Amino acid sequence: QQAYVDEVQRSIDAHPSQATLLKKYQQVPVFYWIDSMSRIANLTAVMDGALAQANNGSQQIVVQIIIYDVPDRDCSAAASNGEITCADAQCAAGIATYQTKYIDPIVSLISQSKYSKLTIVALIEPDS
């Protein structure tokens, strides 16, 4: 993911004495965490960056994303509460919001035919 590579490069620029070590991290695969609905918009840049890599080389590109905005995630533990809440025991409204405003837009984006040459790994709610 180019944004990660760029972030590591800024660290290298700020800490040139650590450049050898930090450059190793530019090659480490990372997951893009989608922990709020607002981060879905950034997923386009992630996917387009991966597609550009795939189009410029012969290796398979894997896009790794974390789906992380389940209603009342972390059981209201206050560590990383989500933005979608359950108003009642059935959580009907929360689940509807999760489906229509979070999951559906992600699926719509990653299933576009232009991304068909990419392998997409989605880790769903790793600690909710």
Residues identified as active-site: 127
∠ CA 45-40-11, rounded to 5°: 55
Rounded Cα–Cα distance for residues 119 and 105 (Å): 18
* Closest among 67, 24, 54 to 119, alpha carbons compared: 54
Nearest one of 108, 86, 88 to 98, comparing CA atoms: 86
CB 29 within 8 A of CB 64: yes
